[in-house]
Homo-oligomer: A and B are copies of this chain.
């Protein structure tokens, strides 16, 4: 995929989940409508940025009224694909894999953890909530039989590329990668990385350069 030619920039796309989160908080507080000015105050964006962002998807605001919170929330749910469900597997059942398996918010959002895989005999056969840890040798067969859309890689970096290669061969659609390595995958596979070390090291940089910020 050539990200430079995308119609909507990655910066806008990465802000959408943030809109989703803030709108959900407003809904929980039973707030029915909000102006782009008010939304900009709570989100730390400018009102014009918000209007521009949402105009990418057709607007939604009404002059003099602002945004209908519930309607906008539901639209963004649909845009993000959160109105659907996705079968996922977690590869690597160590602490991080288990933390993700236990994180029920992802399941509530439609990302269903169907199975975990590991090569460690001490883990194979165990369950995290009701999610079985299976022998990684059975991964391909499981993916083919269970309509798995997303593979979540929580292995050490040394195993991550070979796991990704195996997921790609099984026609997985997307990979959510937590291993600290940049994976090579074909263009049609959606790859999203969470590089925790990079986040921590950015914090470290900022701590050490506070005087210059």
- Looking across the interface, which residue of chain B has its beta carbon closest to that of A156? B105
In residues 62-99 of chain A, which contact B (Cβ within 8 Å)? 79-82, 84, 86, 94-96, 98-99
Q: At the interface, yes or no: A166 with Cβ under 8 Å from chain B? A: no
- State the interface size on chain A (CB cutoff 8 A): 65
A210 touches B198 (CB 8 A): no
Interface centre among A13, A84, A196, by most chain B C-beta atoms within 10 angstroms, is: A196
How many Å lie between the Cα of A106 and that of B204 in the bound state? 12
Q: Which residues of B contact A44 (CB under 8 A)?
A: 182
Q: At the interface, yes or no: A17 with Cβ under 8 Å from chain B? A: yes
Q: At the interface, yes or no: A31 with Cβ under 8 Å from chain B? A: no
How many Å lie between the Cα of A146 and that of B90 in the bound state? 37
How many Å lie between the Cα of A98 and that of B196 in the bound state? 15
How many Å lie between the Cα of A14 and that of B86 in the bound state? 31
A201 touches B16 (CB 8 A): yes
B98 touches A213 (CB 8 A): no
A199 touches B203 (CB 8 A): no
A206 touches B180 (CB 8 A): no
B197 touches A17 (CB 8 A): yes
B174 touches A1 (CB 8 A): no
* Contacts known (A203-B176, A213-B3); A194 close to B194, Cβ less than 8 A: yes
How many Å lie between the Cα of A174 and that of B201 in the bound state? 12
